Amino acid sequence: MTDSKRLRLVILLACMALASSSLLQAQTFTDLFDFDGTNHGCCSIYPGMLAQGRDGNLYGVTAQGGANSRGAIFKSTLAGVVTVLHSFDLTDGASPQGGLSLAADGNFYGSTPSGGTDSAGVIFKITPSGTYTVIHNFARGTDGGFPKMSPVPGNDGALYGVTGIGGSIFYKITTAGVLTPLATLTVEPFGPLTLNSDGKFYGVTNVGGTSNVGTAFSVTTTGVVKTIFNFASATGSLPYGPLLLSSDGNFYGTTYTAGSLGGGVVYKLTPAGVYTVLHSFNSTDRSQGLNPTAGLVQGSDGFLYGVTASGGAHLEGTIFKVKTDSTGYVDIEDLDGTHGAVPYSQPLLDTNGKIYGLTNGGGAHNDGVIYSLAAGLNPFVQPVPLRQAKVGESVGILGQNLSTATGILFGAGAGTFTTSDNTYMTAKPTTGATTGVITVEEPGGNLVSPQKFKIVPTIISFTPPSGAVGTSVILTGTSFTQTTSVKFGTKAATFTVNSDTQITTTVPTGAVTGKISVTTPGGTANSATSFTVE
């Protein structure tokens, strides 16, 4: 071999190694805690969502075990020191499987599919210190019953969820426990609901639809339900995991089975229902995992991370990643049983950049484990639970090293903030804030939210209060910088954005007496009173 050929070979091998290292960054799997089946509970089952608390700890549930063998609620430090906060005793619920949701009040909310005064399940609240309260006992009436998933927060401060019977009731519940049934779904959704930036909740069912193997749907906070996709065996069936709302505005998820290779798929789904298979798991070659039960998380590297319930080198399940363009699939961890097996539960991407999750089995007692995966992902900040706010409204933000923060931006505009501890702050967007990512400025490097946060406009007043077509009208309000539309009733008007707090517009031809609206990427604001067209 000539020297020039050797040089080309060395360069080629170096490039291959570099490409490989970009896919296989330092990834460290750690078995943080082994459940014992008794005091600490055992056997987390789907969906089993972990929640990150304001204090930086993890909070979750076990479906069995605890002091009364009815399941438990636990707190875990990131180092795996676990404290049982509550053991269910049947009268206050039993066998929780949905996990927990962090609400705006700093408390956690969840549900049980059994127990309670009517043996039809409960919705509960628990504080970080362990004070437990049942806020609703299901009665199997108009409220339904037997909820398998826990309610999730909406933009209005209430929580939204679905029940397991009664036609599967989509409901709203306040943190004080006032429950309102909103709609009856034809089949029961199996995964937690996902709040989209359009204000709708999105979810999946693993039965029903044109092929009876599942659907994806949307539902508004007023109860309007729409099927946006019907799953089919050829492209993946039986979706269990929740939909991940990505930074690109699309949803990503998994199906448990079927697809071109029979072992389930990873898919992309637009809000309009356009479906694309990103990866098919091979039911005849189990080495890289198959049968994903949980949903996905998205890291700062752009990869989607998930788990399979079986397959891998030890046939105990895997942790994998794949790009949103369907390339770069890697089986990055094969569970070995000794340190966890059969990961049914939904993984959590913590704001420290690590992935945390629960397994159903494995560990020292074969009762499951809490695990972490360090995959070289960047830390970030996450607004909770809101996805939108008006200027001056308070926004809770989870993150890391927040006590050293020097500033905050909402999109291109500033905000004010107060840090209560190292992992949580409250912030308020100020005049000039725009719809965009939240940036917390830090001496050691800024922390950025993965998704855009909406700044909702408001119309405070307009002058004059009346006029003929062609009349110039001045609107006063907030968050006008990104205005895309001004309407008098249904008629679009020409306009000029004078500042973030003022718009000059003209009464359009065809306008009739009615309210004025301003639309931005953050939403639509309507005037409190009507403009009179003379």
Final residue of a structural domain among 378, 399, 432: 378
The answer as to whether 175 is a domain residue is yes
The answer as to whether 3 is a domain residue is no
Report the distance separating Cα 430 and Cα 503, nearest Å.
18
pLDDT, position 25 = 52
The answer to whether residues 521 and 412 belong to one domain is: no
The answer to whether residues 122 and 173 belong to one domain is: yes
Report the distance separating Cα 209 and Cα 275, nearest Å.
15
CB atoms within 10 A of CB 167: 14
The answer as to whether 368 is a domain residue is yes
- Exposure letters 115-125 (e unless 16+ CB within 10 A, then b): bbeeebbbbbb
The pTM of this model reads 0.92
Backbone region of residue 99 per phi and psi (left: phi > 0; alpha: psi in -120 to 50; beta: other values): left
Final residue of a structural domain among 378, 410, 442: 378
The answer to whether residues 340 and 215 belong to one domain is: yes
Q: What is the CATH number of the domain that holds 413?
A: 2.60.40.10
pLDDT, position 46 = 85
The answer as to whether 8 is a domain residue is no
Final residue of a structural domain among 378, 401, 431: 378
Report the distance separating Cα 509 and Cα 14, nearest Å.
67
pLDDT, position 39 = 84
CB 263 within 8 A of CB 269: no
pLDDT, position 26 = 62
The answer to whether residues 418 and 283 belong to one domain is: no
The answer as to whether 7 is a domain residue is no
In the chain, the number of structural domains is 4
The answer to whether residues 238 and 339 belong to one domain is: yes
Range of the domain at 72: 48-189
Q: And the tokens for 241? A: 């995991």
The answer as to whether 39 is a domain residue is no
The answer to whether residues 99 and 232 belong to one domain is: no
The answer to whether residues 102 and 143 belong to one domain is: yes
Q: Among residues 161, 158, 54, which one has the least CA distance to residue 106?
A: 54
pLDDT, position 41 = 87
pLDDT tens digit at each of 534 positions of the chain: 444 444 443 333 344 333 444 444 568 999 999 999 888 888 888 889 999 999 999 999 999 999 999 999 999 999 999 999 999 999 999 999 999 999 999 999 999 999 999 999 999 999 999 999 999 999 999 999 999 999 999 999 999 999 986 569 999 999 999 999 999 998 888 788 999 988 999 999 999 999 999 999 999 999 999 999 999 999 999 999 999 999 899 999 999 999 999 999 999 999 999 999 999 999 999 999 999 999 999 999 999 999 999 999 999 999 999 999 988 899 999 999 999 999 999 999 999 999 999 999 999 999 999 999 999 999 999 999 888 999 999 999 999 999 999 999 999 999 999 997 899 999 999 999 999 999 999 999 999 999 999 999 999 999 999 999 999 999 999 999 999 999 999 999 999 999 999 999 999 999 999 999 999 999 999 999 999 999
The answer to whether residues 126 and 92 belong to one domain is: yes
